[in-house]
Each structure stands twice: as C-alpha cells, then as structure tokens.
Structure 1
Amino acid sequence: MTTETATDVFEAHRPVLLGVAYRMLGRVADAEDVVQEAWLRWTGTPRDDVREPRGYLVRITTRLAIDRLRQIKARGETYVGPWLPEPYVTDFGDTVPDTAERAVLADSVSLAVLVVLESLSPLERAVFVLREAFAFPYADIAAMLDRGEPAVRQLAGR
C-alpha cells in the first residue's frame, strides 16, 4: 500500500505540467495559473477514479491551457510589437543534465518553436506540444482532447 498523498503525486508531476502549460501559453504567469487550476481540480477528484495520474494531470492541464488560449483570443488581447515568449528557467533539482540533455531541452523550448506555436490554433498547439515536446503517442493525445486519433494526426500534420 502506498502512502503517497494527493500533494505528493501532484508535486511529482508539476514540472511536466508547467512545461505543457508554458509551451502552450508562452507566459509563465498564465502557465502557473493553469497549473494552479489543475491542482484545484486534482484535489476535488476521487483518486480511486484515476488509474494514471500523470496522464490525467496532463489532460487537465492541456484542456485548461486550451481554454485559456480561447479566452485570450475572445478578449482580443493584443501585444504591441513582435511577440516573444517569456523566458522560463527549468529547475533541474539535484541533477544537472548532460550536454545532450541540455541540447534537447534547448530545442524543445527554443524561441523559434515558441514563435511558431503562436500561429497555431489552440488544438493544433496542444497536439504539437504533447507530441513533439513530451512524446505522447497520438492515441493518448486523442484521449486527452476527446478527439479521434485520425483527427489528431490531421491536426499534427497541419
């Protein structure tokens, strides 16, 4: 029997959740808000109903980020000047990644990728981030977004 609390489980996945939210939204404050909302939903969910906490939490975070993107668009928020994502420093904890890991991290959060993400719809952005940055299979992404796998593949192709 495990003695892991809801907080322990959530905190273990927080870096991934922040990564998903940040890569989708491009702003640290928005990403943190989305992760906080995911926490509130997580605490209100009976743990017996959740077989895979990581998948469940990524699903919630992705949907909340999509909602946030739609709200931003609906409010007509605009940014004066060229859009650049807010820098976000990843905390590696006690481990320091080797050179290869640093290169992969640099690629996954590169400025160019974030600028390209800005041109995608919220669903296209979610598929891209989940597939390219976090290597989720199309079937898992389809389940997270309540879409069919062919539709997810089509979104990825765009």
Structure 2
Amino acid sequence: MKKLWATCALTAALVTAVSGCTVVDETVNVQGAPPASSAAPQDSNYPTVTGEVDTNLVITELMGNNKTVTTRQLACSGDTAVAPSNIPDADEACALIAGSAKLFDSELVPTDNDACTDTGNDIIADVFGESRGEHVRVSFQRNNLCNARAWDKLIPIIGRG
C-alpha cells in the first residue's frame, strides 16, 4: 500500500513538473455542500517577513457530511503574523502560539455518554507544519464536548468551525 501511494504521488509530481502546471490547494466545494465560509481571506494582508519565521502552519478544515474543504496558512515571526498568513486574526493566533509551548499537545477524546457527550458537529481541523522548532501534525474535532473544549482554546488558529 505504501508503494502504491508513493508511486501515485511521484507520478502526480512528474506530470505537474512536465506540464508546467502548479498545484494550488484552494477551497473546494463538493456538489451539494454549502459554500465555503467567506471568513477565510484568500490573500495575505500581512507584512513580508523581515526576520526569522518560527511558525509555518497549514490549517485544513473539513466541514459537513460532504466535507467542504478550506485550507489556510499561518506564518509567524515571534508573536507577529507575516505573509503568506491568510487567516482572520493571524496576529492573535501568533501571540497564542508564542505564549504556549504545549498548545498543540492534544489528543482526540472518544465520545461517551457521561463526560464527552456527542455534539453532532462533524467538523475536523488538521494542523501541520512547524512551530518554534517542533514538527506539528495534529487533528481537532468538534464531535463531542471534550473535543469542542480543546478546539475552543485554538479558535484564533483553527477558526470557529
């Protein structure tokens, strides 16, 4: 299975290189899905980096039964957002990251009937990249009350869902 995946990825990269096309990860509306939120700006209004970028993250959000996909970027130099950041309140997100070393240390909690009641909210946010020298690869969900609390702490970064 890994060989098949690697072969497909390599083939796609070669076709892209040969055709001279670039691959752009944009908001994709699946047929029947509600339109993507206009809350995620497409262009960066943040300054070009003049110092070191210590956080560079990609945030992908999957919403609803049809999984509407929204992808955003966050780049920080200290507690200040820089281009190509394109999330609302990116400066607040960078300040949140700068203020917490264990911000992305989170594991999804299974739904149970006692403490983590199901919310019926089918939203997933994947965050990956690097932050302050650490590799980040974490998922957040709003599927139960426990996971929703973890999500709410990161609203400046992953949005309200």
Q: TM-score, normalised by structure 1?
A: 0.23
Larger radius of gyration: 2
Q: Which has the higher helix share?
A: 1
Q: TM-score, normalised by structure 2?
A: 0.22
Select the structure with the greater relative contact order (CA < 8 A; seq sep ≥ 6).
1
Q: Which has the higher strand share?
A: 2
